[in-house]
Amino acid sequence: MNIVCYATEHPISRTIMAAFAEGCKGQVLPPLRLYEGTAALYGVLRGCKEIIKQCEQIGNPYIALDHGYINHSHYDGYYRATCNGRQASFRTTRQYPSDRWENLHRECRPWRRTGKDILVIPLTGATADFYGFDADIWLENVISRLQKHTDRNVFVRPKQNKTPIQEDLKNAHCIVTHSSNVAVDALLMGVPCITLGESVANSVSWTFENIESPSWPDREPWLFELCYRQFTLKELRRGEIDYETCVYRV
């Protein structure tokens, strides 16, 4: 597979794409235009959004990298890689082993069935721009829709909030988000989520109708697969990823 690795001038982009290129034996180029081959890139800023949009317009395959779903941090954490999308979509019946989840030493708490409030996660500017949304209108529409389905208090987590998300989730009955990774944080804490966009949590998400008629899906198979779709820099350098499916391989 011919993979072109697009790296911006940002040090994080350069570091991650250098690791990815080492693993896939790809060429590293700036995101000035679309070159022939599968595109691989980190984030959506500094020309990367334009490369993704060009790929989508002409059906050119691409691999999008970004923060990992669990235990993400620069540069000793995990990064996600997704084929032809910004977050993984679980559409197979494959059963994944538990080893990569167990290696994270994290807890998946039982479903919280006593939460009271609805927590809404607003769109960031970069996400709204990428999907072509007006973030304020999106938020207004979400709140309006919530009010048709529940009388619970609705709280909006302010952008750039420095409070740990765990604090805001303490009294949450569920969260509502477009595609924020807060959905994963919430699900690990046992808090249900409603995802309205391209989200790795879609397969275990509620709908608005579930707010007062809850369902409690099994999160374990979802977690196991999630961990097979995120990678350390060392794993990227060693090419421990199936570039056709963006799933971990040895």
Q: What is the pLDDT of residues 67-92, one digit of tens each?
A: 999 999 888 999 999 999 999 887 66
Q: Are residues 212 and 242 in the same domain?
A: no
Confidence check: pLDDT of 171 > 80: yes
Say if CB 241 and CB 25 are below 8 A apart.
Answer: no
- The size of the chain, in residues, is 250
| Mean pLDDT value of segment 121-143 | 95
Residue 37 within any structural domain of the chain? yes
Confidence check: pLDDT of 220 > 90: yes
Residue 244 within any structural domain of the chain? yes
Residue 106 within any structural domain of the chain? no
Q: What is the pLDDT of residue 159?
A: 79
Q: Structural domain of residue 74, as residue ranges?
A: 3-90+230-248
Residue 100 within any structural domain of the chain? no
Confidence check: pLDDT of 123 > 90: yes
Q: Are residues 64 and 21 in the same domain?
A: yes
| Domain count along the chain | 2
Q: What is the pLDDT of residue 74?
A: 87
Express each pLDDT in 18-70 by its tens digit: 999 999 999 999 999 999 999 999 999 999 999 999 999 999 999 999 999 99
Q: Are residues 173 and 128 in the same domain?
A: yes
Angstrom CA distances, 83 to 130, 145, 194, 244, stand at: 17, 32, 23, 7
Name the percent of the chain lying above pLDDT 70: 99
Residue 79 within any structural domain of the chain? yes
Mean of per-residue pLDDT scores for the chain = 96
Residue 99 within any structural domain of the chain? no
Q: Are residues 16 and 75 in the same domain?
A: yes
Three-state DSSP class for 171? Answer: coil
Residue 162 within any structural domain of the chain? yes
